[in-house]
Amino acid sequence: MTMTSLPVVTLWVTACLALMSVPMSISVGLRRAKTGILLLHGDDEDLLRRIRAHGNFVEYVPIAILALAAAEITGTARWLVVICGAVLIAARAIHYVGLRRAADGSARVAGAVMTSATIVVLAAATIWQLVAGL
């Protein structure tokens, strides 16, 4: 398989998101080491936010990557795939920072809305491409 037949945008976005996940998990581990809390979060609010920020990332990123790959593979316009990939990366960073700062902050909401909107756009683009190919 050549690079031109691979979903290159999706591969780039996946690599970026994979790199983003590493400091998130390290952050949880460092807080656990500092507090001595090995399971759950105790009553440590900071640890809870770190756990949930990382957890939310791993809950939403896989389906978003699949939606991005589906859109790219089915022939969605490259510009739309690139924009959605960039928005997804930004959305996940915004959500993470927002949740780490305040559980009810506007950045958290903005990141969540951007992530969900991106998934919807990608799913709709994929369906559009599939229907157009019938």
Domain containing 17 — which CATH number?
1.20.120.550
d(CA 41, CA 83) in angstroms, rounded, equals 37
d(CA 87, CA 102) in angstroms, rounded, equals 22
d(CA 26, CA 75) in angstroms, rounded, equals 37
Q: Is 80 part of any domain?
A: yes
Query: Containing domain of residue 37, as a range?
Result: 9-132
Q: Is 4 part of any domain?
A: no
Are 63 and 19 spatial neighbours (Cβ–Cβ below 8 Å)? no
Q: How confident is the model at residue 105 (pLDDT cuts 50, 70, 90)?
A: confident
Q: Is 111 part of any domain?
A: yes
* 3-state SS assignment for residue 96: helix
The answer on pLDDT for 4 being more than 80 is no
The answer on pLDDT for 3 being more than 70 is no
Are 97 and 107 spatial neighbours (Cβ–Cβ below 8 Å)? yes
Are 31 and 46 spatial neighbours (Cβ–Cβ below 8 Å)? yes
Q: Is 3 part of any domain?
A: no
The answer on pLDDT for 2 being more than 60 is no
pLDDT for position 26: 96
The single-letter code of the amino acid at 67 is A
d(CA 13, CA 45) in angstroms, rounded, equals 31
Q: What are 4's two structure tokens?
A: 């031109």
**What total of structural domains would you count in the chain?**
1
34-87 pLDDT, tens per residue? 888 778 777 888 898 999 999 999 999 999 999 999 999 999 999 999 999 999
Comparing 40 with 11, the larger pLDDT belongs to 11
Are 122 and 70 spatial neighbours (Cβ–Cβ below 8 Å)? yes
